[in-house]
Amino acid sequence: MKRKISILGSTGSIGRQALEVIEKLTDKFEIIALAAGSNTDLLNEQIRKFRPKYACANNINEVEGARHTSLEEICSNKENDIILVAVSGRVGLKPTITAINNGIDIALANKETLVMAGDIVMPLARAKKVNIIPVDSEHCAIHQCIKDISQVDKLIITASGGPFLHKTVEDMKNATVEETLHHPRWNMGKKITVDSATLMNKGLEVIEAHHLFNMDYDKIQVVVHPQSIVHSAIEYVDGSVIAQLGLPSMHIPIQYAITYPERYEGIKSKSFSFSEIARLDFEEPDWDKFKALKIAYNSGRLGGSVPVCMNAANEEAVFAFLQGKIKLFDIIDTVEKMIYKHNPVFNPSLEEIFEIDNEIRIKTKESFLQLR
């Protein structure tokens, strides 16, 4: 029987690669719905090729060949066996909660969902007996390594180090947008590539891992691994370390997440060769150069609305950097200032989370006007 799936964010990087995976596994999947933002030209191409029942987009009147619907309706449709949440930003949170409430498994490629509301999402998923399978290569690696979480003593999350790993602080202060977007290993969207350059991306992943695997922050370690071959590892209480390795490719974690617990050949990179890789390097992050990582750990430990504040301020600052309004280092300075001024709310409701998110975004944008 085919697994029925909907993809939220089908025209983005993860969504496009997911459809490439599904194209290799057409006998395994039936696409219920595709949802996109403003790229309706590509969405219409996808509709013609994959023939979903439903489609959703910002400019819905430009969508052809499928019944129009909304994210809420897609995630309430119990035809779905699994929904891939690959939209970026806070827009992924409400659809994820809707799907969980309807007992639909989630392949999660949206960091903000757990960074903003992990304390709401994960208990709800457990109560509804819904699987949340991570798509991020690091969390996917950890998921593959764990057999019994109660026997795990430490999570080890790897980071490529981004384009400025061996650059100076001055290099980063003077970095152009083009230099920042030149990632040495991964081809990703602009926002996540900037986050990778500051290591904020890794900080967000630490908070995700805390919620996904119910692991204390003191037991989550980040290690820089430039080759991006070891995607992450775990250390068991007896000292044994198990890692998941593979050539850099998002097709593999995407396929793992949407086919779990089965494995199929589908799309895979060339066969892994230890002799061709030859060496694997690991080093401690430079905590002074990559302050974002420390900020994320502290925000996660404080909890409540602090990660919401951090995420919102970072996202608006990244957009400002991409528009040439601020420098790269201004991103982290902005985040730090917003957190310092923020009055934390502990155990916030979903409504409070969105209110705080909006408030921080407005204040962050106002702070850029003051820089002019």
**Per-residue pLDDT tens listing for the chain (372 residues):** 899 999 999 999 999 999 999 999 999 999 999 999 999 999 999 999 999 999 999 998 999 999 999 999 999 999 999 999 999 889 999 999 999 999 999 999 999 999 999 999 999 999 999 999 999 999 999 999 999 999 999 999 999 988 888 888 888 888 888 888 877 666 667 888 899 899 999 999 999 999 999 999 999 999 999 999 999 999 999 999 999 999 888 999 999 999 999 999 888 766 788 888 889 999 999 999 999 999 999 999 999 999 999 999 999 999 999 999 999 999 999 999 999 999 999 999 999 999 999 999 999 999 887 655
Which pairs with CB-CB distance under 8 Å and at least 24 residues apart come from 332-336? Answer: 332/198, 332/200, 332/291, 332/292, 332/295, 334/364, 334/367, 334/368, 335/200, 335/292, 335/295, 335/310, 336/291, 336/295
- Residues carrying CATH 3.40.50.720, the chain: 3-134
- Residues carrying CATH 1.10.1740.10, the chain: 303-372
Q: Which CATH number fits domain 3-134: 3.40.50.300, 3.40.50.720, 3.30.565.10, 3.30.70.520?
A: 3.40.50.720
- Selection from 42, 38, 69, 39 nearest residue 53 by Cα: 69
Backbone torsions φ then ψ of 38, nearest 5 degrees: -105, -5
Q: Which amino acid is at 272?
A: F
Helix axes 13-24, 251-259, angle to 10 degrees: 70
Output DSSP code: residue 221.
Answer: E
The verdict on domain 303-372 having CATH code 3.30.9.90 is no
Q: Give the integer Cα–Cα distance in Å for 302 and 346.
A: 9
